[in-house]
Amino acid sequence: LKYGNERDGDDLFQYIISEHHELSLQECFKKFGYAHDLTDTKQSLKLATESVIKEFAAENVIYLELRTTPKTTKSMSKFEYLATVIETIRECESKYPDIIVKLLPSIDRSKGKQEAEENVELILKFIEENNSDIIKGVDLSGNFISTVFSDFKDVLKTARDNGLKLALHCGELEDDAEIEEMLNFGLDRIGHGTFIRGKNLDTVLQEKIPIECCLTSNLRCGTAPSYQEHHFGKLFTLKHPVCICTDDFGVFNTTLSKELKLCKASFNLTDEEILQLNKKSVDFCFANAEEKQFLLNKFNEFCYNNNE
């Protein structure tokens, strides 16, 4: 609707990757461009941000880490973009009081080193000027083709030295050397981790680095052959820290509830195992100690009320 005659009705859904689509990882990256294109005004960005929070709150999610890349649009500077997202999160605190929302601004690898430096400088400036407790870390993601991780090490170190946690997409591609480089650099959580194997997997297991698993995302993008063969199964069997995520619930046409149901069915898990899987994820979320205790109390209250 935003584009009027520039796009027809069917094109409104070009960003959705359904179960009938068989796409390559590179084709999946292109889909995210549509969503980015639809949030280039303050009004649309506020609407999108609140819509995401509202939908997760409706699922009884009690903790959410949003990710978005600060960007310059025709109507907003990067600073205004970031401020709009945080302003909306603040406004949602009273509307949806049962969910804690934090933000991990993203570094898009495809945009290069200079933009990464600009974004981290912007993030740190925003935190300093606004005393914001909403920004808890940074995310490194985006299309990694034609980029090298070493280009981003300095800026990630700057973020880490200033108290921000690092959630890095690692092992999305079969590149043992880059995975090893990222592990040696250090990170707080791994996004996807699909192709971590051999000595790199040994390192991850030994250091107990939590992994964010996105079942439907990996299946639709062709990096996992099936739900049953997803690497979550091995990690869960090894009792490694792992959490189930949606990646982007709009693009992949999913919900967290759906992902948990798929996880339960694909790996024959019990309700108790799903409950504990979610509860343990509190340990490696980026909330502060007081917030983590609040979340654990919510879990315990749920278990008591449901005789779990």
3-state secondary structure the chain: CCCHHHCCHHHHHCCCCCCCCCCCHHHHHHHHHHHHHCCCCHHHHHHHHHHHHHHHHHCCCCEEEEEECCCCCCCCCHHHHHHHHHHHHHHHHHHCCCCEEEEEEEEEHHHHHHHHHHHHHHHHHHHHHHCCCCECEEEEECCCCCCCHHHHHHHHHHHHHCCCEEEEEECCCCCHHHHHHHHHHCCCEEEECCCCCHHHHHHHHHHCCCEEECHHHHHHCCCCCCCCCCCHHHHHHCCCCEEECCCCCCCCCCCHHHHHHHHHHHCCCCHHHHHHHHHHHHHHCCCCHHHHHHHHHHHHHHHHHCCC
Please identify every residue annotated as catalytic: 172
